[in-house]
Structure 1
Amino acid sequence: MPAPFAVRRFLPLPTLSYGVGDLHTGAPAERDFGPHVDQTNYSVVVDEQVVVKWLTPPVPLPHPTPEIFAHLVDAGFTDTAPPYAALILATDTHEELLALVTGYLPEARDGWEWCVDEAAAGNADFAAEIGRLAADLHLALATLPSAGAAHTSAASRAEAALAEALELTGGEDGAWLATRAGRMRQELAPLQDDITSPRIRIHGDLHVGQILRWRDGYAVIDFDGNPTVTDAAPCQPAARDVAQLTTSLEHVAQVAIKRRGTEPAHAAAWAAKARAGLLAAYGRRLAERNRPDLLDERLIRPFEVEQECRELIYAARHLPRWSYAPMGVLRTWYQEENIT
C-alpha cells in the first residue's frame, strides 16, 4: 500500500483472483446496497464476497472498531461479518480511518426487516438465539483490556436524557410525557446506587438493526458506537447494551402496528414474550460460562427508560417521523392504570 496509506489486517481476505475465462461472469464487480438502505456511511459490495464500508467523512484515530475487530478475532468470536482489514490514512500529524473491510453475508437482512416479519407473524422463537449471541459478544468483549477512564454518573446522564426529552418533545406527546415524568424518574432511581457490576467494553449501539439474519444464521455488526451520543464511555455495564436490545424489540412491535396493521395487544404480547426469551437465554449463557456477574438485572429497567428518552431526542433532532415508536412504547408502559 503506497504512502500515506496503510492497511491493518485482521483475517486473510478471500481470493479475488481470476483466470482469463472468469473475467466476464455477468455479475457486477462492485455494487452498493441501494437507496432503500439507511446508512450513515457508504458501503460497496465487491464480487459478492467483501463489503468495503467507506467512512464519510473519515474518522480520526483512535476509533473503536479496529481494536474490537482485532480482539474478537483473538477471542474466537465468529457471530459477526468476518473482519478483514482497516484502511488508514497516516500523515506526519494525524491518522484517519478511511474504510473497513468485512465479509459479505449472503441473503442478509437487518432486524428492521426480518424481526418485523416475526412480530407480524407472532413468532418469538428467534429470541433465544439473539440472547445467546449477545451474551457471547459480551463474554468476548469482557476480556478486552481497557484503561480505567473516568465516566459520567449513570444517574446524572439518565436524568439529563429525560430532561432533554421533555424539552424537545412538543405538542400532545410532550404534554403526555410531562405527566409521566415523575414515574419515569422513579424508575431511574436505581442508577443513583453504586453500580457494582463490571464495566466492560460494550457494543454501544446494540439494537435489532445491528443484527443480521443471513443464510447461515445471525451476525452482529457495526461496532462504531452510537453516532448520536457523543459522551458515551466505551466501558459500561453490560446491562446498557441489553436494555437497548430489549427496547428495540418494543420498537419492532410499534413498527409492526404502524406498517403491518398488527393489533396493538398482539404486538405488546409478542414484545413481552421475545424480551423474556432473550433475557432468559442471555442469563443462561452467562451462567454456562461462569460469568453471571456481568449482568445486574436491576439496571435493565432504568437503562430501558433512559433509552426511550434517547430515542425521543434522536427523533426530535434527526428523524421526527420516528417519534411514534418510542412514544408508543412509553404509552404501553405507562397506561393510566399503571400511574400512581
Structure 2
Amino acid sequence: MSALTEILADWMPGQRWFGSKGREWAGVTEEGFFLDQSDPALSVHRVRVSYTDGATETYLVPLSWRNAPAEELSSAFVGAVPSASGSNYAYDAMRDRDATVPWLTHLVAASTVGPMHFHPAGVAYIPEGVPGDIISGEQSNTSLVYGESAILKLFRRLEPGLNPDVEIHDALRQADNQHIAPLLGHIEIDEPGQEPSTVAMLQTFVANASDGWRLATSSVRDLYAEADLHADEVGGDFAGESERLGEATASVHTDLARVLPTETADRDWYTAVAEQMGARLEAALAIVPGLTEHAEALRALYAAVATTDEPVVRQRVHGDLHLGQVLRTTTGWIVLDFEGEPARPLASRRELDTPLRDVAGMLRSFDYASRHMLVEQPEDQQRAYRAHEWAERNREAFCAGYSAASGITLSSESALLRAFEADKAVYECVYEARNRPNWLMIPLSSLSRLTAGD
C-alpha cells in the first residue's frame, strides 16, 4: 500500500460524506491523475474500498498539493507524502479556495483531462476564474458556490451511469420548467467496461432564497406563540405557500412525464410495491419495538396496495422530496436535488415510479415541521393539538395546489398514498431509533393516525 493510500484510508472515515462509517474494511486501492499542475496542484483520486461483507464502494477525493504546510488550511489537512525534496502536503481540495478555480475553467473549455470529461450545457454564463466557497453541513456530497451565480455539486460516491440529478435537471431545463435551478454543465469520468460515472454538476445558484423547512418551522413557532389563535388566524400562516408548493411539485411531475418515458403500472408492480413495504416493516420491527402495536394495521394497509385498482402511470420522480429540498424565491418555489435517496443504488433511483411517493414525502415533512418542537415538551397537549391543526391545514393546502395544477385529485382515502406515507414513517422510525431516539415520537404518532384512517 502506498503512503498516499494509507493516508486516505486513515482520513476518509472521518469525513461527513463517507457513507460506511463503522463498516469493517477488507482493503483499499487508489488511482489518481492531475487536473491542474499550477500552484497549488490539483489531483483527483478514485479510492475503492472493499468490505469484509463482500461489498465495494468508490469515492472521489480531490486533493490540493503544497510544498509547505498551510496554517490557514489546517482543518483541511489530509496528510504529508514523502518526496525526494522533503514532503508534499495534501489538503482537501474542496476546502482550498486556491484549488477550486480549475473545475470551471475546464468546464468552459469542454476539456478532457485523463479519464475525466467536462460537458458544458452551453445555455448560460459560467463564471470562469472565480474561486468557490464550500457549503458546510452537507452529508453525502460536497458543494462549492462561485460568487452568486453558480454552484458545483461534487458526487463523492461514484457509480457507473448518469446521475439522476443531472438527467432530470437537463430534461426539465429543456422543458423550460420554472421550478428548478437551470443546469449549466456536468462532469464525467470513464469507468473501464462500463458507463462513465457522474463526478459533478454545475447549476445556477439561487441567491436570496429561503429554505422551505425554515419557513415552515417559523410558521409553527408563530402558531405556538399565539395561544388563542387558530392556524388560519396567525400572521405567519403557511398554507398559501404550501398550496403554491403543491402547484410547483405538480408542474415538475407534469413536465417529467412529458419529456421522459412513462409506463402504465401493471399488477406485478402493485404486488412488488406491497412486498417491498412489507419487507421494510419486518426489518424495522426488529429495530423499533414501538412499531409492534401498529404492525397488524400496517400489514393490512400494505396488502391493500397489492389489490387496489387506483390507476398509476409510472414516471421519473424526485425520489426524496421534503421541505429541506425546496427553496422559496421572490418569484416562486424551486425544487432541488433530484439525486434521489443517495443510499440506494443508482440504477434503482433511475427507475420509473409514482409521483405519489414524492407527495407522501412532502406530507411527512409537514408532520415533522409541525411536531419537531414537541420533542422538548412531549406532554404539552395544547401544543400537540396545535401541531396537528397546522399539519392538517398545510397538508390539505399542498394537496389542493397539486390537484389544481395537475388535474389529479389527491384523496386521503387513497390506499396508495396512505401506504406510501406509512412506509416513509416506518423508515423514519428506524432512522430516529438509531440517531435521535427522542424524536421517535414523531413518526410513531403519525403511524397512529395513518393506521386509524384519520
Q: TM-score, normalised by structure 2?
A: 0.63
Question: Which amino acid in 1 is paired with 2:134?
Answer: D
| Distance change in 2, residues 1:56/1:316 (3 Å) | farther
Residues 190 and 232 (structure 1), Cα distance of their counterparts in 2 relative to 1, 3 Å cut:
farther
Match of 1:237 among 354, 360, 384: 354
Q: Which amino acid aligns with 1:109?
A: S
Paired with 2:142 and 2:399, the residues of 1 have a C-alpha distance of: 33
Q: CA deviation at 1:280?
A: 1.0
Match of 1:2 in 2: 112
Letter of the 2:117 partner, please give it: A
Q: Is the 8 A contact 2:161 2:197 kept in 1?
A: yes
Partner amino acid for 1:276? E
Please state how far the C-alpha of 1:215 moved relative to its aligned partner: 4.2
**Take 2:150 and 2:317, find their aligned partners in 1: how far apart are those partners?**
25
1:232 Cα deviation from its structure 2 partner = 5.5
SS at match of 2:112: coil
Q: CA deviation at 1:17?
A: 6.1
Task: Quote how far apart the aligned CAs of 1:70 are.
Answer: 1.8
Q: CA RMSD in A?
A: 3.0
Q: Which amino acid aligns with 1:112?
A: W
The answer as to 2:446 corresponding to 1:326 is no
Normalised TM-score (structure 1):
0.82
Higher strand share: 2
The structure with higher relative contact order (CA 8 Å, sep 6+) is 1
Q: Separation in 1 of the partners of 2:121 and 2:409?
A: 30
CA distance in 2, matches of 1:17, 1:200: 36
1:85 to 157, 168, 185: 185
Q: Which residue of 2 aligns with 1:115?
A: 216
> Counterparts of 1:250 and 1:256 in 2: how far apart (Å)?
11
- Structure 2: gaps of 5 or more residues: 1-110, 224-236
Counterpart position of 2:282: 163
Larger radius of gyration: 2
- Tell whether the 8 Å contact from 1:212 to 1:219 is kept in structure 2 after alignment: yes
Alpha-carbon distance in 1 for matches of 2:125, 2:438 = 41
Structure 1 stretch displaced more, 186-195 or 80-89? 186-195
Q: Aligned partners of 1:321 and 1:225: how far apart in 2?
A: 27
Partners of 1:80 and 1:333 lie apart in 2 by 32
SS at match of 2:198: strand
1-side partners of 2:157 and 2:434: how far apart?
Answer: 20
Partner of 1:228: 343
Query: 1:1-340 to 2 correspondence within 5 Å?
Result: 1-3=111-113, 4-10=115-121, 12-16=123-127, 29-34=131-136, 37-90=137-190, 92-94=192-194, 95-122=196-223, 123=237, 124-146=239-261, 153-169=272-288, 174=289, 176-193=290-307, 196-230=311-345, 231=348, 234-258=351-375, 263-287=383-407, 292=408, 297-316=414-433, 323-331=440-448, 333=450, 338=452
Deviations along 1:157-190, one digit per CA (max 9) or x if unpaired, are: 1111211221111xxxx2x421121122233232
In structure 2, the partner of 1:25 is none
Closer, same or farther in 2 for the Cα pair 1:294/1:111, shift >3 Å?
closer
**1:222 alignment partner, SS class:** coil
Rounded to whole Å, the distance in 1 between the matches of 2:328 and 2:292 is 38
Asked whether the equivalents of residues 64 and 224 of structure 1 are also in contact (C-alpha less than 8 Å), the reply is: yes
**In structure 1, C-alpha distance between the alignment counterparts of 2:357 and 2:277, rounded to whole Å:** 11
**SS at the partner of 1:300?**
helix
* Alignment-derived partner of residue 24 in structure 1: none
Using the TM superposition, give the Cα deviation of residue 81 of structure 1 relative to its aligned residue in structure 2, in angstroms.
1.4
Q: Secondary structure at the match of 1:196?
A: coil
Change in Cα spacing, 1:227 to 1:57, as seen in structure 2 (3 Å) is closer
8 Å contact from structure 2 (residues 127, 146) kept in 1: no
The separation in 1 between residues aligned to 2:396 and 2:212, in whole angstroms, is: 18
